[in-house]
Amino acid sequence: MKDKKAFAREVESIAVRALLYEVSATPKPGLVDRNNSGAHNDMDFFTFIDSSAVLGETFYLCTMAGINHNKNIDSLLKAIRPMGIKGEEKMFAITDNVNTHKGLVFSLGILCAAVGYLYRKNSARIWSADDICEQVKYMTKELVDRELKNKKLDRPLTYGEKLYVKYGITGIRGEAASGFKTVRLYGLPLFKELMDSRKGSLNGRLIQVLINLMSYAEDSNILGRHDLKMLQIVQKRAKKIRDLGGSFTEEGLEEIRELDKWCVQNWVSPGGSADLLAVTVMLYFLEKAL
């Protein structure tokens, strides 16, 4: 049995690994990868590497906060907020105020805290991804009501609030409050299947999972830049790629490359789906390690 600091460092390394896997997967339509900067002109692959390099301590502290939390889990989110804010400050400092990982500081930070809380309850038990996500649901169960539904939106709106007002989309808050339902339905089962079968390369498996997530996710990045019609176009094209075999066939790969060109030309970035890919990777390796 690991002591709590060693455990928290292991969780930290898995979180950073998830960040690095996500940005390294190539090609990703409209997203920063090893080939290009996608539909972004203020960041590149190395911006993400820099950002990933400074966020480890944030994930460690969130895990330790969960381990040391002696109250009900529904108060844990509030406890880790200052750590998330400091993590964002580190990110903005090293990226020259470019938002590379704000969404994942939130999502992976919550996962870290939830895992830490489970360790506190029983450090000897083996925890599944479902166990972790159920804790996330308890942590965030009032998040959507508190920050969107019951909030007076009579001031300048945040990005997520604008999407809620316009489309009723709850974004990453809703995803967390559901216990990362989209990941559990369309990300993690496929990634497990591909990893178990060792189909293709690891890179190909990551791209295949991303395409599957793009087929279903209510991607807040696409909605924020464009509208519901654009999201539906991307989902339809992703489903076509999936039906062609995705990253495992030449036809699917060619469609991925064409979609990448189209996304760049039309300023489309499925960043919400990319974040869900990182969540998928983290949950997979947490389940393997714990």
pLDDT tens by residue, 79-130: 999 999 999 999 999 999 999 999 999 999 999 999 999 999 887 778 899 9
**Domains in the chain, CATH or no CATH each:** 4-289 (1.10.4200.10)
**SS3 of residue 237 by DSSP:** helix
Whether residue 160 is predicted with pLDDT greater than 70 in this model: the reply is no
- Chain segment 195-208, per-residue pLDDT in tens: 999 999 999 999 99
Whether residue 170 is predicted with pLDDT greater than 70 in this model: the reply is no
Q: Would the pTM of this model clear 0.75, i.e. be above it? A: yes
Is the sign of the CA dihedral 129, 132, 134, 136 positive or negative?
A: negative
- Sequence-ordered alpha helix ranges (H) in the chain: 4-24, 45-54, 56-68, 76-94, 102-121, 129-140, 143-144, 159-167, 171-177, 181-182, 188-197, 202-216, 220-225, 228-243, 250-266, 271-289
- Chain segment 258-286, per-residue pLDDT in tens: 999 999 999 999 999 999 999 999 999 99
Mean pLDDT of 169-197: 92
Compute how many other C-beta atoms are within 10 angstroms of the C-beta atom of residue 30.
31
Confidence class for position 158, pLDDT limits 50, 70, 90: low
